[in-house]
Amino acid sequence: MPPLIMFDLDQTLAESKQPLAPDMAERITALLGQTKVAVISGGALAQFLKQVVNQLSQEANLSNLYLLPTSGAQLYEYKDRTWKNVYAESLTETEAAHVISVLTEVAQTSGLIDFESPAWGERIENRGAQITLSALGQDAPIEDKKAWDPDKSKRKILQKLLAERLPEFAVGMGGSNSVDITRKGIDKAYGIQKIAEHLGLRIPDMLYVGDQLETGGNDEAATRTPIKTHAVSNPEETKQLIDQMLSYTH
């Protein structure tokens, strides 16, 4: 059993923006009784609490759970019955305003997003340490999100155009219809390094589980560190992996 297992969230532990299924919550609770678990994704802290923490049983050992919102730009741990911030690489108001302005312009001029069409929630969200563009809106139905850019071609265009206009920032793919912008060098690799330092762990001893470890995927940054990786295609495969790891401890 690794001393820490880090999971991507959407399409790894749960469907996009959906809460953990009860059988996944049971498995994460069991893992927390055996080792440290970290969850890293582009969402804000509130999304992690809604999707993950609130689905776990009261018996879950939350002191073994670590949350890394906004793609590793923040880290939270559970102490004294509350979630405490360990670090946050937050954007300044000026930086955020600049990013939002460029993001809006590029999204419109590229012809990929029609801001006049209805959306499910906000399309552009300031998450403090990250600005996120969701093409269909934050709360779009899962099937609509998956159908918008199944081959990543639209997001690759947006990523390229934004990187040219925002060279001082990192532009990465988020979920199935989103693009995330953080400060340069702030990504999942950064989050892996920071949590290893915070907990005094060796990165090669840790395990990362994600559904997009390939080039251009939102888990690719993890492969730039010496962490062990395990690719999954969906939450069902993640359940199988967890079951295998738990079986080793019995």
Q: What's the CATH code of the domain at 159? A: 3.30.1240.20
Name the H helices within the chain.
22-32, 45-51, 93-109, 142-148, 153-165, 188-199, 235-247
Pick from 247, 236, 228: nearest CA to 14:
236
What is the pLDDT at residue 249? 67
- Do residues 144 and 173 both lie within one domain? yes
Q: Which helix (H) or strand (E) holds 74?
A: strand 74-79
- Do residues 172 and 118 both lie within one domain? yes
- The pLDDT of 100-115, averaged and rounded, is 93
pLDDT tens digit sequence for 146-156: 899 998 899 99
- Do residues 101 and 171 both lie within one domain? yes
Out of 7-11, 119-123, 171-175, least confident range: 171-175
User: Quick one: pLDDT band at residue 167, thresholds 50, 70, 90?
Assistant: very high
- Do residues 163 and 194 both lie within one domain? no
- Do residues 157 and 195 both lie within one domain? no
What is the pLDDT at residue 196? 98
What is the pLDDT at residue 217? 83
- Do residues 203 and 222 both lie within one domain? yes
What is the pLDDT at residue 174? 77
Last residue of a domain, one of 157, 183, 209: 183
| Number of domains forming the structure of the chain | 2
- Do residues 106 and 136 both lie within one domain? yes
Q: Which domain holds residue 132?
A: 93-183
What is the pLDDT at residue 175? 75
Query: Taking 90 as the threshold, does the pLDDT of residue 120 lie above it?
Result: yes
- Do residues 61 and 167 both lie within one domain? no
Last residue of a domain, one of 183, 208, 227: 183
Average pLDDT, the chain: 93
Q: Taking each helix axis as running N to C, give the angle between helix 93-109 and helix 153-165, from 0 to 180 degrees, rounded to the nearest 10.
A: 130
- Do residues 127 and 48 both lie within one domain? no
What is the pLDDT at residue 152? 87
Q: Which one-letter amino acid corresponds to residue 20?
A: L
Q: Taking each helix axis as running N to C, give the angle between helix 235-247 and helix 22-32, from 0 to 180 degrees, rounded to the nearest 10.
A: 30
Q: What share of the chain in percent tops pLDDT 90?
A: 79
- Do residues 131 and 20 both lie within one domain? no
Query: Taking 60 as the threshold, does the pLDDT of residue 110 lie above it?
Result: yes
- Do residues 172 and 241 both lie within one domain? no
Query: Taking 70 as the threshold, does the pLDDT of residue 250 lie above it?
Result: no
Q: Coil, strand, or helix at residue 54?
A: helix
Last residue of a domain, one of 183, 205, 239: 183
- Do residues 190 and 179 both lie within one domain? no
What is the pLDDT at residue 172? 85
Out of 23-27, 64-68, 132-136, least confident range: 132-136
User: Quick one: pLDDT band at residue 35, thresholds 50, 70, 90?
Assistant: very high
- The pLDDT of 189-200, averaged and rounded, is 97
Q: Give CA–CA dist 150/48, Å, rounded.
A: 25
Query: Taking 60 as the threshold, does the pLDDT of residue 239 lie above it?
Result: yes
- Contact status, residue 91 vs residue 99, Cβ threshold 8 Å: yes
